[in-house]
């Protein structure tokens, strides 16, 4: 079964972060620039929260707040759900389903080392199923 470690080996390891006092507008710009749907919120290397496009839509836009004047700390999700390198893809999918989140920071030895998204997990499941189908077809034809 695939784990978060396997997922991270196959993707870019960049961690996009923002500080809690940054303006929400700056966070949204950073997400757009890097084509990601969420950022970790870090202060002095410590994980404090996560901000997503969903947080922006629900806590800024729908409430009529100004994204230029609202600090990230006011809309970030905290405490943050995290996973480890040894967490299975299935466990990540279950956590995302149960808690209605789309991004999970990966923490190792107390430090954020990556992020997995629902898209990463779906790709992994599809690849694993494709491999199983190929193995079964090979078995049938041999």
Domain boundaries 4-141, CATH class: alpha beta
pTM over 0.95: no
Q: Mark out the alpha helices in 1-142 (DSSP H runs).
A: 4-9, 24-34, 53-56, 89-99, 118-141
- Alpha carbon 17 to chain centroid, angstroms: 12
CA 71 – CA 125 distance, rounded (Å): 37
pLDDT in tens, 128-137: 888 888 888 8
pLDDT in tens, 77-104: 999 999 999 999 999 999 999 999 999 9
Give first-to-last CA distance, the chain, whole Å. 25
- Alpha carbon 64 to chain centroid, angstroms: 26
Share of the chain above pLDDT 70, in %: 99
């Amino acid at each position: 079964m695939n784990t978060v470690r396997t997922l991270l080996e196959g993707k870019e390891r960049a961690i996009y972060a923002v500080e809690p006092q940054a303006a929400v507008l700056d966070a949204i710009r950073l997400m757009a620039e890097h084509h990601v749907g969420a950022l970790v919120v870090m202060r002095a290397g410590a994980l404090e929260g996560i901000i997503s496009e969903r947080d922006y839509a629900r806590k800024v836009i729908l409430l009529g707040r100004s994204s230029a004047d609202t600090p990230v700390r006011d809309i970030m999700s905290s405490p943050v759900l995290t996973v480890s390198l040894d967490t299975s893809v299935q466990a990540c999918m279950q956590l995302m389903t149960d808690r209605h989140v789309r991004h999970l920071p990966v923490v190792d030895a107390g430090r954020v080392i990556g992020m997995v998204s629902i898209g990463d997990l779906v790709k992994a499941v599809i690849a694993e199923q494709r491999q199983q189908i190929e193995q079964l077809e090979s078995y049938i034809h041999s």
